[in-house]
């Protein structure tokens, strides 16, 4: 006997039992142990940070990380899966800052770095329990007991080794460069972090500023006969170059204006003054119809001198210039009250927007900085690292974006603001704290990734991306536009940068291991087993090998993306330990994360691996789209539309949620998700499967079916079809999973389960129901049993719980020599010789004809139980007609018609014929009903009522009954005529006229307008 299966099932409850089974029997551990000597399949776990509750998007990536390894295990691979935790970086510091109510670095310094970092260390495991619980609950098999943790000394030492390798190969440098800087976090961001934070609805000022020309270059020739003289206009102090900007706060840093050398510039008169614009852009400035007084080329104006908007010396601001020949060093210039700035020409000046005159502030923006170096321009930095205006400007002390108004008011008061409005455009913000980023010139440590750009691109060509377009698209583009990795952070909680510098000479050293540190001369501040984090590591110093100075550590920490990107080797403390473990797990066969990681983890893994090992470190990637709410809105705490995974898991269960994640949309697409959508999946798919399974178990128990007891050769077309379909399904699913496509594989299984339930089981009901245990019945049992067992194995990677539940009952309860879990079994193998393509396509056609036939019946509102005389089918060919004749028994039964006929002519709808057409096919149902058919219809209605009454009366499926009835003459005739049929269908031993007073369950009905009273009583056999 199988364990009885309740059709009213609560999946979460079953899943808890399965979790207990896996835990107590160590099934996950065994799934690796039994494959100990098999080839390995390697998953790299992209480490999450456990300083927040895991969300629904984590479930998405975690189930995709699970499905492939489970499949590979069943295919015979050994799949070790090491968990990992990302524990460093700005996100962690921000959480702690928030908790302490801090708004900047000064407060951290006051509070003490040691205390601050201790809190960071604590916070990264704050939600560890929740993470472990969710991971287990959703059935993501991962070795959570031996995770790699990026804050461990061993992990840090491996990162140090990697940095030292890069250092030795000249791939690390310090540049005085413009970096995207977050003023709130007080640190640079790497370009892949910047890419995470663009907002395309940023509102900024759009302003036209006037720069007063002091004198023109002497080479400007003038047409003496013209009325207008530019030289005179300049001398009169009425001539201005007009520049456009969206960042007024950068104007105090302006030290030059750039024009396009070959472009035409026009002088126009406006309100009694003379303004200079690019000729092509005069109109777009919208100053009305202005007459062009004179035209000049950009290079004619080059060398013009203009008055600074803000002379830095008047506002306590330093003015510097690059020291000739020394990269990254600047010299302070003497105060100059009559300071003038020079007009330059440059090829980056756009004629698409603005005025064709670009305001240059070398302290802000890469282009400006480079222009400054090339033209030996002044460098004025009126903004500090917190994004506040320094000096004694009227708007000093304000945050840059808040200073915009002050700057404009000041210029307006001096008549230098021509026009001011607002613009909505794309601007980068800090991906973590949402502060607007500043492009800020400062010193930063870089990894010269651009030196290995070609290698990264060719390595990428060997990676299989799913979806495929990521390879040349999002990821490929990112690699093509590679810029060096700004990887130092002026922060506290991170892997400390392992570079030491002499306090006297210009000597730098990178130390790549603890042993290297230990062997330095004059070492101080180091002890065995010390915490390698700040502030302790800051005290490690030693003698400069070049002079009598001391070597102290550069205070920066490194980008936490470098940590996670180092996991292929750092998780093993390579190369200090586990050299063989690293080698056998490198590269990974498979990784999966969300699409934003093309600029995050996917990139840092690829970059580091290429730099260190000259090859990619992963072969296959499933790149996941984002999750939106049911309305297609981004989920956010602010919107209040975040779905808690727990809610879904408690109501529908992990299998339903997993199935939804796999099949609702392809992995790369964005997907909508709501509690209801998962409930629907549970009803549509899991319940269909469950009902089929429970149907089988119920009948099998009644008939004492024992799996494998008697083999019969299937003769039924239905059985042949199911076996064919099943083997085709196995072949398809295997092929799809081998190609990392769980979505199509899942959908194939789903449509198979539908056909199994709605065609095979429905068409076979009578075979299970009939009383004689003939070969046909045994064949039906064998076929359905084999199919359900195979399904449990096919589904094991997708819905591991229901698969296990079915397997335990169907297989383990009869055969304790079978593997103790479905997940320890092998994946089914398709027997190609059992696939009969004809029978599959023929049955598909029959199902299509039936579905059209049902539609034709429905069109005329004929009840399903009313038998009709005939269905007429117009198929495409004689071979199709042949196929349908072969399956006619099933079609007749399914459509409840007496006869099938074929035609090659068009069917015409009329009173007696209801027609449905689809493509080349037509199906007509003859709706003319004879008294004989009416009687049969009534008999069928009576059967249905009796069957419902059996359930209402609480009878077992195999209980026999006595049936009683009361009705008019017509009912009498129906019951006499169809008594055998009614008895057989309802397990009635007899049908008696007259309702007994008591001891029977009775109900009253109206069937075809006839009053009927029915009663049933259980009959002892």
Q: By the criterion CB under 5 A, which residues form the site for Zn ion?
A: 182, 184-185, 430, 433, 435, 502, 504-505, 507, 544, 546-547, 549
Nearest distance in Å: CB 433, Zn ion? 3
Give the span between the Cα atoms of 277 and 268, in whole angstroms.
Answer: 8
| Spatial separation of the C-alpha atoms in residues 818 and 28, rounded to whole Å | 17
Please, which residue, 507 or 944, has the CB nearer to Zn ion? 507
Q: Which helix or strand (DSSP H or E) is residue 436 part of?
A: none
Q: Least separation, in Å, of the C-beta of 444 and Zn ion?
A: 16
Q: Is 438 helix (H, G, I), strand (E, B) or coil?
A: strand
Q: Which is nearer to Zn ion, 462 or 504 (CB)?
A: 504
Cβ of 280: how many Cβ atoms within 10 Å? 16
Asked whether the beta carbons of 657 and 649 are under 8 A apart, the reply is: yes
Least distance in angstroms from the C-beta of 265 to Zn ion: 40
Nearer to Zn ion, 258 or 502 (CB): 502
Rounded to a whole number of angstroms, the CA Rg of the chain reads 39
Collect all residues with Cβ–Cβ distance below 8 Å to 689 and sequence separation of at least 6: 753, 757, 791, 795, 802
Name the burial class of residue 36, with classes exposed (0-12), middle (13-18) and buried (19+) by CB atoms within 10 angstroms of its CB. Answer: exposed
Q: Could you tell me how far CA 132 lies from the centroid of its own chain?
A: 21
CB of 264 to Zn ion, least distance (A): 43
Give start and end residues of each alpha helix (H) in 860-899.
878-886, 888-895
Smallest gap from residue 186 Cβ to Zn ion (A): 8
CA–CA distance, 977 with 980 (Å, rounded to integer) = 8
Residue 490 Cβ, how far from Zn ion at the closest point, in Å? 12
Contacting residues for 284 by C-beta, under 8 A, at least 6 apart: 353
Minimum gap (Å) between residue 488 Cβ and Zn ion: 16
Could you count the other beta carbons within 10 Å of the beta carbon of residue 826?
11
Q: Which phi and psi angles does 582 have, rounded to 5°?
A: -60, -45
Considering the complex, state which of residue 435 and residue 457 has its C-beta at the smaller distance from Zn ion.
Answer: 435
Give the residue with the Cβ less far from Zn ion, 60 or 92.
Answer: 92
Least distance (Å) between residue 112 CB and Zn ion: 22
The Cα–Cα gap between 59 and 43 comes to: 17
3-state class (DSSP) for residue 90 = helix
CB of 633 to Zn ion, least distance (A): 25
What is the spatial distance between Cα 785 and Cα 432, in angstroms, rounded to a whole number?
A: 54
For residues 492 and 117, what is the distance between their CA atoms, to the nearest angstrom? Answer: 7
Chain centroid to CA 368: how far? 37
Nearest to 662 by CA among 651, 673, 652: 673
Question: If DSSP codes are grouped into helix, strand and coil, which group holds residue 423?
Answer: strand
CA-to-CA separations, 847 to 331, 724, 754, 758, 857, in angstroms, rounded: 85, 16, 12, 10, 15
Sign of CA dihedral 728, 731, 735, 740: positive
Measure the CA–CA gap between 164 and 670, rounded to whole angstroms. Answer: 40
Measure the CA–CA gap between 55 and 310, rounded to whole angstroms: 51
Cα(first)–Cα(last) distance of the chain, in Å?
21
Number of Cβ within 10 Å of residue 976's Cβ equals 10
Instruction: Enumerate the β-bridge partners of residue 915.
Output: 924
Q: Which is nearer to Zn ion, 38 or 552 (CB)?
A: 552
Closest CB to Zn ion among residues 516, 680 = 516
Q: What residues are annotated to the active site?
A: 47, 86, 561, 597, 601, 634, 637
Cβ-based nearer residue to Zn ion, 104 or 625: 104
CB of 432 or CB of 748, closer to Zn ion: 432
Residue 223 neighbours by CB under 8 Å, 6+ apart: none
Measured in degrees and rounded to the nearest 5, phi and psi for residue 153 equal -55, -40
185 or 497: CB nearest Zn ion: 185
Cβ nearer to Zn ion, comparing 189 with 982 = 189
Quote the least distance from Cβ 519 to Zn ion, whole Å: 18
Helix (H) or strand (E) holding 708: none
- Decide whether 332 or 547 has the Cβ nearer to Zn ion: 547
Q: Nearest approach, Cβ of 381 to Zn ion (angstroms)?
A: 20
Backbone angles phi, psi at 513, to 5 degrees: -165, 165
Nearer to Zn ion, 328 or 522 (CB): 522
Strand runs labelled E in 127-284 = 143-149, 172-182, 187-188, 198-215, 239-245, 256-259, 264-270, 273-278
DSSP state of 531: -
In the complex, what is the shortest distance from the CB of residue 40 to Zn ion, in angstroms, rounded to a whole number?
41
Q: What is the DSSP string of 365-413?
A: SHHHHHHHHHHT--B---B-TTSBB-TT-TTTTSBHHHHHHHHHHHHHH
Q: Identify whether the C-beta of residue 322 lies closer than 8 Å to the C-beta of residue 372.
A: yes
Pairing of strands 256-259, 357-360: antiparallel
CB of 226 to Zn ion, least distance (A): 56
* Helix ranges (DSSP H) in 79-184: 90-100, 105-111, 113-123, 128-137, 153-168
């Amino acid at each position: 006997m199988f364990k009885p299966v309740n059709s009213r099932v609560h999946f979460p409850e079953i899943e808890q039992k399965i979790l207990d089974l896996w835990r107590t029997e160590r099934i996950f551990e065994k799934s690796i142990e039994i494959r100990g000597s098999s080839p390995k399949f390697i998953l790299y776990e992209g480490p999450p940070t456990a300083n927040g509750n895991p969300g629904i998007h984590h479930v998405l990536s975690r189930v995709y990380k699970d499905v492939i390894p489970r499949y590979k295990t069943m295919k015979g691979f050994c799949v070790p899966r090491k968990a990992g935790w990302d524990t460093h970086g700005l996100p962690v510091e921000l959480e702690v800052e928030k908790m302490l109510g801090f708004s900047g670095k000064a407060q951290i310094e006051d509070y003490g770095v040691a205390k601050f970092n201790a809190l960071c260390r604590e916070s990264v495991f704050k939600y560890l329990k929740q993470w472990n619980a969710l991971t287990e609950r959703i059935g993501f098999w991962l070795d959570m007991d031996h995770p790699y943790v990026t804050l461990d000394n061993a992990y840090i030492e491996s990162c140090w080794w990697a940095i030292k390798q890069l250092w030795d190969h000249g791939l690390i440098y310090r540049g005085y460069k413009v970096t995207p800087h977050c003023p709130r976090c007080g640190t640079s961001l790497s370009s892949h972090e910047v890419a995470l934070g663009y907002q395309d609805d940023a509102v900024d000022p759009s302003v036209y500023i006037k720069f007063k020309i002091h004198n023109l270059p002497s080479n400007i020739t003038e047409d003496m006969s013209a009325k207008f003289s530019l030289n005179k206009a300049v001398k009169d102090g009425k001539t201005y170059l007009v520049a456009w900007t969206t960042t007024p706060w950068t104007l105090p840093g302006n030290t030059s204006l750039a024009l396009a050398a070959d472009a035409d510039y026009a002088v126009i008169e406006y309100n009694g003054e003379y303004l200079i614009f690019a000729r092509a852009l005069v109109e777009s400035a919208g100053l009305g119809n202005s007459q062009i007084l004179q035209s000049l080329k950009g290079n004619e104006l080059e060398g013009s001198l203009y008055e600074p908007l803000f002379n830095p010396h008047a506002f306590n601001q330093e003015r510097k210039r690059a020291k000739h020949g020394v990269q990254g060093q600047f010299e302070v210039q003497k105060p100059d009250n009559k300071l003038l700035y020079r007009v330059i020409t440059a090829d980056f000046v756009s004629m698409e927007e603005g005025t064709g005159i670009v305001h240059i502030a070398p302290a802000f923006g890469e282009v400006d900085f480079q222009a400054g170096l090339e033209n030996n321009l002044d460098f004025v930095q009126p903004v500090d690292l917190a994004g506040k205006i320094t000096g004694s400007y009227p708007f000093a002390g304000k945050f840059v974006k808040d200073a915009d108004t002050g700057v404009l008011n000041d210029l307006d008061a001096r008549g230098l603001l021509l026009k001011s409005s607002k613009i909505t455009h794309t601007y980068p913000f800090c991906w973590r704290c949402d502060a607007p980023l500043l492009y800020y010139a400062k010193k930063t440590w870089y990894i010269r990734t651009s030196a290995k750009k070609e290698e990264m691109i060719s390595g990428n060509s060997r990676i299989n991306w799913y979806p495929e377009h990521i390879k040349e698209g999002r990821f490929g583009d990112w690699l093509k536009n590679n810029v060096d990795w700004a990887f130092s952070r002026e922060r506290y909680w991170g892997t400390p940068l392992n570079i030491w510098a002499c306090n006297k000479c210009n000597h730098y050293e990178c130390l790549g291991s603890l042993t290297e540190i230990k062997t330095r001369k004059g070492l101080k501040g180091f002890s065995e087993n010390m915490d390698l984090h700040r502030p302790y590591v800051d005290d490690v110093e030693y003698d400069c090998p070049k002079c009598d100075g001391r070597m102290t550590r550069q205070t920066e920490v490194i980008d936490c993306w470098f940590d996670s990107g180092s996991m292929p080797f750092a998780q093993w403390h390579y190369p200090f330990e586990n050299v063989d473990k690293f080698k056998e797990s490198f590269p990974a066969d498979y990784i999966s994360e969300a699409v934003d990681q093309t600029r995050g983890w996917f990139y840092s893994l690829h970059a580091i691996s290429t730099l260190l090992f000259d090859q990619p470190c992963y072969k296959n990637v499933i790149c996941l789209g984002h999750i939106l709410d049911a309305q297609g809105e981004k989920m956010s705490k602010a919107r209040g539309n975040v779905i808690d995974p727990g809610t879904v898991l408690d109501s529908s269960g992990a299998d339903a949620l997993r199935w939804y994640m796999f099949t609702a949309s392809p992995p790369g697409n964005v997907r909508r998700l709501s509690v209801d959508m998962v409930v629907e999946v549970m009803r549509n798919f899991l319940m269909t499967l469950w009902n089929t399974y429970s149907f089988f178990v119920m009948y099998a128990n009644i008939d004492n079916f024992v799996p494998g007891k008697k083999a019969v050769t299937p003769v039924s077309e239905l059985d042949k079809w199911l076996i064919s379909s099943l083997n085709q399904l196995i072949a398809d699913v295997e092929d799809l999973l081998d190609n990392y496509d769980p979505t199509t594989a899942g959908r194939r299984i789903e449509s198979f389960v539908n056909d199994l339930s709605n065609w095979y089981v429905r068409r076979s009901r009578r075979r299970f129901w009939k009383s004689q245990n003939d070969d046909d019945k045994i064949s039906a049992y064998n076929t359905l049993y084999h199919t359900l067992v195979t399904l449990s194995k096919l589904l094991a990677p997708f819905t591991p719980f229901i698969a296990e539940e079915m397997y335990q009952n169907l297989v383990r309860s009869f055969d304790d020599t079978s593997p103790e879990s479905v997940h320890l079994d092998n994946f089914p193998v398709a027997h190609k010789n059992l696939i009969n393509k004809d029978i599959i396509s023929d049955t598909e056609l029959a199902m299509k004809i039936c579905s059209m036939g049902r539609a034709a019946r429905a069109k005329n509102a004929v009840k399903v139980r009313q038998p009709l005389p005939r269905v007429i089918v117009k198929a495409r060919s004689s071979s199709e007609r042949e196929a349908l004749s072969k399956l006619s028994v099933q079609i007749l039964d399914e459509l409840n018609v007496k006869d099938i006929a074929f035609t090659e002519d068009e069917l015409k709808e009329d009173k007696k014929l209801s027609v449905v057409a689809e493509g080349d096919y037509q199906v007509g149902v003859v709706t003319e009903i004879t008294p004989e058919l009416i009687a049969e219809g009534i008999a069928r209605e009576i059967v249905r009522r009796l069957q419902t009454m059996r359930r209402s009366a609480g009878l077992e499926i195999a209980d026999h009954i006595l049936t009683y009835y009361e009705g008019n003459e017509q009912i009498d005739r129906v019951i006499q005529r169809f008594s055998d049929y009614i008895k057989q269908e309802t397990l009635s031993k007899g049908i008696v006229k007259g309702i007994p007073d008591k001891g029977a369950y009775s109900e009253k009905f109206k069937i075809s307008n006839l009053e009927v009273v029915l009663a049933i009583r259980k009959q002892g056999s």
